[in-house]
């Protein structure tokens, strides 16, 4: 008899879940109407414009630190260029992980369902995005920044064994914070037109990915076995910590001619940077809180990652 309240709660929660097929059908329709081929959509032959930023200065990790105030405008713009390359490299890493998670997610499902057809559409989007980010790095003559071997291998394990709710919580972490920054970047007239074009395409297509992952995570946090829901709270906290550490590759500071240790310490101590990261994560953390991911030890990990106030 003690199980009755739980069952009633489950029925209530199921009531707010949207039909999986209906969600996918809407997303497929939107994909038909607004998908882009970056190779033809963007002008890759136009030279970069003198005096324009590769990333809005306020979103550069060192912005408003004592070190930033000592830097010349030229040094600041160069750091923004390198951070753009670091974020584009990170974007490719996330997308490759996500593609594998999506393939694993649909492996046992009906291949003709709309839910699976949308997952395949999203994988195709991510393929185009990864090539677009790589082309941007290449055109800018910029370095490719790789995460540390430890994080690279942690992700190898995670993408191979993660549970379905764990996979979708990780997906949202990879998508939503970068998306928040890109939403500020594409309308910004101080920014290089090519960077604005890349971020605009990404924002439009990512909105659907976020919707798909949110609906699925909400469903999973009601229907998945309890051990998976519990584990998701911890693994998402751990992923948030890895995410915060690898968000900007510290090699950018060395490449910009700065003292790497001093730069890392100043970023860590920067109230502006903390605000930016927490503002970027706010939409995501509100949602994760709502669906029951941010509890217990996992919640403390999100705080120690600096992504939750
Ligand atoms: Fe993407
Ligand atoms: Fe995506």
Q: How many Cβ atoms sit within 10 Å of the Cβ of residue 225? A: 10
Class of residue 149 by CB neighbours under 10 A (exposed 0-12, middle 13-18, buried 19+): exposed
The pLDDT assigned to 7 comes to 55
Distance 175 CA to ligand 2 centre (A): 6
* Average pLDDT, integer, range 82-97: 97
* Helices and strands per DSSP (H, E), number in the chain: 14, 0
State in words which class domain 17-304 has.
Answer: mainly alpha
The pLDDT assigned to 61 comes to 97
Q: 232 near 295, Cβ under 8 Å?
A: no
| CA–CA gap between residue 183 and residue 200 (Å, rounded) | 8
Give the tens place of pLDDT for each residue, 217-269: 999 999 999 999 999 999 999 999 989 988 999 999 999 999 999 999 999 99
Give the tens place of pLDDT for each residue, 278-301: 999 999 999 999 999 999 999 999
Which bound ligand lies closest to the C-alpha atom of 182? 1
Q: Which pLDDT band holds residue 18 (cuts at 50, 70, 90)?
A: confident
Distance 12 CA to ligand 2 centre (A): 30
pLDDT greater than 70 at residue 3: no
Distance 265 CA to ligand 2 centre (A): 31
Distance 10 CA to ligand 1 centre (A): 33
Distance 46 CA to ligand 1 centre (A): 23
The pLDDT assigned to 10 comes to 58
143: left (phi over 0), alpha (psi -120 to 50) or beta: beta
* Average pLDDT, integer, range 13-36: 87
The pLDDT assigned to 6 comes to 57
The pLDDT assigned to 245 comes to 86
How high is the mean pLDDT of the chain? Answer: 93
pLDDT greater than 70 at residue 14: no
The residues whose Cβ lies within 5 A of ligand 1, an ion, are: 129
Please state, in angstroms and as integers, the Cα–Cα distance from residue 134 to each residue in 120, 150, 245, following that order: 21, 23, 22
The pLDDT assigned to 2 comes to 42
Distance 206 CA to ligand 2 centre (A): 5
Please state, in angstroms and as integers, the Cα–Cα distance from residue 298 to each residue in 241, 293, 295, following that order: 10, 8, 6
Distance 62 CA to ligand 1 centre (A): 25
Domain ranges of the chain: 17-304
Q: How many Cβ atoms sit within 10 Å of the Cβ of residue 2? A: 5
* Average pLDDT, integer, range 59-70: 98
Q: Quick one: angle between helices 73-106 and 114-139, nearest 10?
A: 150
Distance 60 CA to ligand 1 centre (A): 21
Total-model pTM: 0.92
Give the tens place of pLDDT for each residue, 171-191: 999 999 999 999 999 999 999
Give the tens place of pLDDT for each residue, 49-58: 999 999 999 9
Of 92, 104, 88, whose CA–CA distance to 143 is shortest? 88
Distance 95 CA to ligand 1 centre (A): 6
Q: 116 near 110, Cβ under 8 Å?
A: yes
| CA–CA gap between residue 309 and residue 150 (Å, rounded) | 27
| CA–CA gap between residue 234 and residue 177 (Å, rounded) | 19
Q: Which pLDDT band holds residue 12 (cuts at 50, 70, 90)?
A: low
Distance 182 CA to ligand 1 centre (A): 11
pLDDT greater than 60 at residue 13: no
Q: Quick check: helix, strand or coil at residue 191?
A: strand
Q: Which pLDDT band holds residue 4 (cuts at 50, 70, 90)?
A: very low
Distance 122 CA to ligand 2 centre (A): 7
Q: Which pLDDT band holds residue 17 (cuts at 50, 70, 90)?
A: confident
Q: Quick one: angle between helices 193-223 and 226-246, nearest 10?
A: 160
| CA–CA gap between residue 14 and residue 98 (Å, rounded) | 26
Distance 172 CA to ligand 1 centre (A): 11
Query: Percent of the chain having pLDDT more than 70?
Result: 95
Distance 217 CA to ligand 1 centre (A): 18
Q: 305 near 244, Cβ under 8 Å?
A: yes
The pLDDT assigned to 8 comes to 56
Lowest mean pLDDT among 121-130, 157-166, 251-260: 157-166
Q: Which pLDDT band holds residue 9 (cuts at 50, 70, 90)?
A: low
* Average pLDDT, integer, range 185-201: 98
């Amino acid at each position: 008899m003690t199980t009755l309240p739980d069952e009633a709660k489950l029925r209530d929660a199921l009531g707010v879940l949207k039909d999986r097929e209906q969600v996918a059908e809407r997303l497929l329709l939107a994909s038909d109407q607004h998908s882009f081929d970056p190779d033809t959509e963007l002008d890759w032959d136009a030279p970069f414009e003198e005096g324009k930023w590769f990333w809005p200065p306020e979103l550069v990790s060192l912005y408003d630190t004592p070190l930033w105030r000592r830097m010349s405008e030229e040094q600041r713009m160069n750091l923004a260029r390198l951070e753009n390359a670091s974020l584009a490299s990170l974007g490719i890493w996330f997308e490759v992980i996500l593609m594998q998670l999506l393939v694993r997610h649909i492996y046992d499902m009906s291949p003709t369902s709309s839910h699976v057809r949308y997952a395949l559409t999203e994988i195709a989007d991510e393929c185009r995005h990864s090539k677009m980010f790589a082309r941007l790095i290449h055109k800018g003559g910029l370095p490719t920044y790789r995460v540390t071997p430890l994080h690279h291998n942690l992700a190898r394990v995670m993408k191979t064994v993660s549970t379905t709710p764990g996979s979708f919580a990780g997906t949202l972490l990879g998508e939503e914070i970068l998306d928040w920054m890109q939403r500020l970047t594409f309308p910004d007239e101080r920014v290089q037109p090519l960077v604005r074009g890349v971020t605009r395409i990404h924002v439009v297509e990512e909105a659907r990915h976020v919707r798909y992952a949110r609906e699925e995570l909400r469903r999973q946090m009601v229907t998945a076995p309890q051990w998976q829901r519990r584990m998701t709270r911890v693994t998402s906290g751990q992923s948030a910590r890895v995410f915060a550490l690898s968000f900007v590759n510290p090699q950018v500071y060395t490449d910009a001619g700065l003292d790497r240790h001093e730069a890392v310490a100043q970023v860590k101590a920067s109230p502006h940077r903390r605000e930016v990261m927490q503002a970027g994560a706010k939409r995501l953390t509100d949602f994760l809180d709502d669906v029951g991911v941010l509890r217990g030890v996992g919640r403390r990990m999100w705080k120690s990652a600096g992504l939750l106030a």
